[in-house]
Structure 1
Amino acid sequence: MADFNTLSAELRPRLSAEARIVGKEGTIQRWDESCAPTPIMTVAAHCETDVAETVKYCRGKGLKCLAQSGGHSWRVRNYRDIDVVICMRELNQVQVDEKAGTATFGGGTLVGELIDAVTEKNLEVATGVCNSVGVMGALLYGGVGRYIGKYGLGIDNLISINCVDSTGRLHYNVTEETDEELWWAIRGAGVSLGIVTQATMKAYPVSNGGMSWTGTLMYGDQSKLENIIQALTETEMDENMCAHVLFACPPPTLAPVIVVVPWYYGPEAEAEKVWRGLLELKPTVKLTGMIAANKLNEEHDAFGEKGGRKPGVGIGLQKLDPVAYRQIWNLYVNFIKENPDAGRSIVLTECFSKEKTRSVAAESTAFANRDINYEVICVPWYTDSKLDIRANSFSQSVREVWVQKCSHPDRVRCYPAFAGLKEPIESLFGEEERIKKLKAIKKLWDPDNYWGALMDLSNS
């Protein structure tokens, strides 16, 4: 059995003076503790070479390592094998080049940190909707967020990356020109190919002075559910719109309600017109208004809170079926009623404009599911591990309703960031030819499947 004192003493001389090494007492809490690693040690890297040297050391000692920035990467596939966690948080510097229209950021940068940096320069980037999530992990899965209607997926805005491969070699300025195959694969399957320590992506001038309209619409009358779903499907989403729909139990009542968080990148008067279908349903609570870009994600902060067990699942949908959502609502209410400790559980549906995303050729990246219309996720949230069986049964039941009534049962699609532990490769990366190509690149860059991550592609 590896000994922390021995390992840390051996690794310490190979790292920068600012890097830190801690034992089990320094294990960093993750968003989902149901599959969180219990490492022998955690290395707080201070620079890119710290990451590379730690990987080299781990490979030489037969240890498995995992890079962690925000700690929200859901469902760590090989978590029981992780010996060393590389904490990336100190690699969080952001450089914004206003003239070039780019933002360069380290592998430990959080969404909120990137947004703050570009907002200060009156720019914006295609990034996520939860401030505490690491930019890099969410980006490499595809990069879905409120601005994809205007700018497309995050991966479609990538310019270059630095990455550490499975041998510990650090590659600088990887682009389509320097390595066409790796560039294809990293955009959609990046977490299975290496540790991205830095990235540069496009940044755009803000619109409407950076102000947009959003807020919370809360419907306590659950009989309106079918009408809400119908209103969403009938609302023609343009590039300035998105909406999040949740089944949740918010304070102070902690009773199940339907929550809709609409967004419109424009004046309030226009926002109320484009979202009139929802507003005419007269929500019990309506808290809306104009908000600055660096404040938009604050409403999602509670969802990003770390800790607790969250063994859920998610897929991609082709349509929102009101009958299916009534069935899911009943499953949700019954689960909460029977398991009071799971009162923070949610069912989330994300609605984005996808025209810009689909304007990019499907074969241009490893991200396969550009034809997904809605991203959905079911998250049981509780603390007692004794609920694991019931929680998994609940989330799988919800998934099955989505598959049978809102998707193509013979061709399930899944946004990789929402994938469960056992999600088939085909759901994530598409048809056989795409998977064959990905396997070939994986064999070049990670022949021993050292990273594991989303899937095992090492066996053909």
Structure 2
Amino acid sequence: MANLDDFETGLKVRLSEKARIVGSDGTVLRWDGSCAPNPTATVFPRCEEDVAETVKFCRQKGAKCFAQGGGHGCRVRNNEEVDVVICLREMNVVEVDEESGRITLGGGTIVKELIEAATAKKLEVTTGICNSVGVMGSTLCGGIGRYMGKYGLAIDNLLSVNFVDATGKLHRGVNQETDKDLWWAIRGAGTSLGIVTEATMQAHPQSNDGLSWTGKLIFGDPSKLEAVVETINDLEMDENMCVHFLLACIPPTHAPAIMVVPWYYGPEEEAEKVWKSLLDIGPTIKETFMAPADRLNDGNDPFGEMGGRKPGVGLGLDTLDPKAYRHIWDLYVHFLNENPDAVRTGMVAERYPKTKALSLDRDSAAFTHRDSRYEAICVPWYTDEKLDIRANTFAQTIRNIWIQKCCQRNKIQSYIAVSGLNEPLESLFGERERIDKLMALKKKWDPENYWGALMDVE
């Protein structure tokens, strides 16, 4: 097994001049520290060839490596086996072709960088809702975000990728024409097949000069919970809308509260009409405004903060049951009272219009959950590892309530980007035949399951 000296002497000479290698003291924080690797070395490549050479070197030395973009992925399986983290953050160049609207971005690009590059050219593209999240990781899991009502999922706008396979070979320009089956698998399960070092996506012209209406509505009175839930359920969502429904502790008092983040891609007067049913409930605090595209995610920055322990579990929901959410609220308040260190614990259910995503063939990609009405996640957030058992029990209890009261019978779906460590493959990819297809491709592209530190498809 190689040590840091082996990497500094044997690998460094094979990398480009500005590539860096650091020891465990230079390890990059992940969003969830409860399952983060503790590597011998972290490599910061500056080009695709650096990634390929690092994988080859790790294979030669019998070391397990793991690629990290933004570092927010929840499924670092077998994290204790990871010897080397390949941090792609310095591969973050974004190039925009204004004529075609195509954007090419490096594997370490985060959402904020992609949005800023697109906005500068008056373009927009489906991305995640947190600035610090890696574009590649969120996209390969499907890619949900505000603009999906207009343009579909991020994978629906993915045109091609470059990726390094388990042998260290770099494949350029992989798309529908070059390898139909591989392209199917990459769009939904790409992290199990290799490291995507570059991608090209289709962007679209801005509407309304890129300005949209958003903000936060805080309902400090818990008795309004059922009314908020029922109203969100009854919304008729058009392509210019989305809504995030949260239970969270709101500064400065950090008392648990109900918060709704509505969004409308259009002028303020139209937005107020569209969201009238929610506004009429009477939020304690209403802070809404017109925001440019490159500032839309700013309110989510605290949620994207790195570090701490966040063993979250996610689920696709068909409805928000009011009685179930009253039970969830009571459990949430009790968990906070019993565990003061977990004051940043929260949960969110995101609802996006799905007409565009559902217009595309479900079997066109490994990602399958186009029809979930909500994407929900419960995130216990604390620092003391002694709370791990209680936090995991709390999260699993919430998940079980969702399954029993907010999902169709025998239909459990989990969005990979926010799923827990032990989520069954059927919840991630659907029917057995889809899983069998993935397994066959896994055996072809990664026969030794080298990328098992990511999402396992054995």
TM-score band, normalised by shorter chain? over 0.9
Kindly provide the amino acid, as one letter, of the partner of residue 287 in structure 1. Answer: E
TM-score normalised by L of structure 2: 0.99
2:160 touches 2:173 (CA, 8 Å); kept in 1?
yes
CA–CA distance in structure 1, aligned partners of residues 242 and 449 of structure 2: 37
Counterpart Cα distance in 1 of 2:392 and 2:370: 28
- Does residue 116 (structure 1) correspond to residue 109 (structure 2)? The answer is no
Farther-moved stretch of structure 1 (83-92 vs 445-454): 445-454
Unaligned runs of 5+ in 1: none
3-state SS, counterpart of residue 51 of structure 2: helix
Deviation string, structure 1 residues 136-175 (Cα, Å, up to 9, x no partner):
0000000000111000000010001000000000000011
Q: Which residue of structure 2 lines up, in the alignment, with residue 186 of structure 1?
A: 186
* Aligned-partner Cα distance in 1 for 2:203–2:289: 25
- Give the CA deviation at 1:409: 4.3
- TM-aligned CA deviation for residue 277 of structure 1: 1.1
Matches within 5 A, 1:16-55: 16-55=16-55
Residue matched to 1:403: 403
Partner of 1:451: 451
Matches within 5 A, 1:29-178: 29-178=29-178
In the other structure, the counterpart of 2:422 is 422
Q: Could you tell me whether the CA contact under 8 Å between 1:32 and 1:75 is conserved in 2?
A: no
Amino acid aligned to 2:115: I
SS at match of 1:230: helix
Give the match for residue 295 of structure 2: 295
Specify the SS of the correspondent of 1:452.
Answer: helix
Q: CA deviation at 1:74?
A: 1.2
Q: 1:292-351, CA deviations, whole angstroms, 9 ceiling, x for partnerless residues?
A: 000000000000000100012011011111111111111111100110000000111001
- 1:425/1:455 contact within 8 Å kept: no
User: For the residues of structure 2 that align with 1:256 and 1:239, how far apart are their CA atoms?
Assistant: 31
Instruction: Spell out the pairing of 1:240-251 with structure 2 (5 A cutoff).
Output: 240-251=240-251
The amino acid across from 1:335 in the alignment is: F
Query: How far did 1:69 drift?
Result: 1.3
Q: Distance in 2 between matches of 1:228 and 1:139?
A: 31
Shift of 1:4: 1.1
**Alpha-carbon separation, structure 2, partners of 1:455 and 1:234:** 35
2:334 corresponds to which residue? 334
The alpha carbon displacement at 1:11 in A equals 0.7
Give the Cα–Cα distance (whole angstroms) in 1 for the partners of residues 261 and 330 of structure 2. 21
SS in 1 for 2:296: helix
Deviation track 1:249-276 (CA, whole Å, cap 9, x = no partner) reads 0111110000100000000011011111
Q: CA deviation at 1:6?
A: 2.3
Partners of 1:372 and 1:338 lie apart in 2 by 33
Q: What is the distance in 2 between the residues matched to 1:318 and 1:25?
A: 44
Q: Give aligned-pair identity as a percent.
A: 62
Contact 2:216 2:288 in 1 (8 A): yes
Q: Which amino acid aligns with 2:264?
A: Y
Aligned-pair CA distance for 1:3: 2.0
1-side partners of 2:411 and 2:126: how far apart? 28
Structure 2: gaps of 5 or more residues: none
List per-residue Cα deviations over 1:195-243 (Å, max 9, x = no partner). 0000001000000010000001000001000000111011101100001
Partner of 2:229: 229
Give the aligned length.
458
Following TM superposition, by how much is the alpha carbon of 1:452 offset from its aligned partner in structure 2, in angstroms?
A: 1.4
Residue 269 (structure 1) aligns with: 269
The separation in 2 between residues aligned to 1:48 and 1:436, in whole angstroms, is: 31
Aligned-residue CA RMSD (Å): 0.8
Partners of 1:147 and 1:240 within 8 A in 2: yes
* TM-score when normalising by structure 1: 0.99
Cross-structure match for 1:278 = 278
In the alignment, the residues of structure 2 paired with residue 454 and residue 432 of structure 1 have an alpha-carbon distance, to the nearest angstrom, of 21
Task: Give the structure 1 partner of residue 350 of structure 2.
Answer: 350
**How many angstroms apart in 2 are the aligned matches of 1:283 and 1:116?**
32
Match of 1:394 in 2: 394
Confirm or deny: 8 A CA contact 2:378 2:395 kept in the other structure. yes
Shift in Å, 1:454: 4.9
Moved more, 403-412 or 96-105: 403-412
Asked whether the 8 Å contact 2:7–2:21 carries over to 1, the reply is no
C-alpha distance in structure 2 between counterparts of 1:248 and 1:206, whole Å:
32
Q: Does the 8 Å contact 2:216/2:261 carry over to 1?
A: yes
Correspondence for 2:5: 5
Cα distance between partner residues in 1 of 2:371 and 2:211: 30
How much has 1:395 moved relative to structure 2?
A: 0.2
- How many angstroms apart in 1 are the aligned matches of 2:75 and 2:456? 14
- Aligned residues of 1:107 and 1:197 also touching (Cα < 8 A): yes
- Letter aligned with residue 186 of structure 2: I
For 1:185 and 1:202, how far apart are their aligned partners in 2? 19
1:414–1:428: 8 Å Cα contact kept in structure 2?
yes
SS of residue matched to 2:133: coil
Letter in 1 for 2:150: K
Conserved in 1, the CA contact under 8 Å of 2:377 and 2:418? yes
What is the SS of the residue equivalent to 2:255? coil
* Alignment deviations for residues 32-77 of structure 1 (CA, whole Å, 9 cap, x no partner): 0000000000000010100000001101111100111111111311
Does the CA contact (< 8 Å) of 2:191 and 2:455 recur in 1?
no
CA distance, structure 2, for counterparts of residue 409 and residue 426 of structure 1: 14
Counterpart mapping for 1:187-206 below 5 A:
187-206=187-206
Contact 1:235 1:274 in 2 (8 A): no
* Letter paired with 1:334: H
Report the counterpart of residue 377 of structure 2 in structure 1: 377
Between the aligned partners of 1:184 and 1:373, the Cα distance in structure 2 is 23
Q: 1:368 and 1:243 mapped to 2: Cα distance?
A: 22
Equivalent AA in structure 2 for residue 288 of structure 1: T
Give, as a single letter, the amino acid of the residue that structure 2 aligns with 1:17: E
Q: Distance in 2 between matches of 1:117 and 1:206?
A: 13
Report the secondary structure of 2:182's partner residue. Answer: helix
CA contact (8 A) 2:66 2:454 kept: no
Aligned residue for 2:332, secondary structure, equals helix
| C-alpha contact 2:69 2:110 (8 A) present in aligned 1 | yes
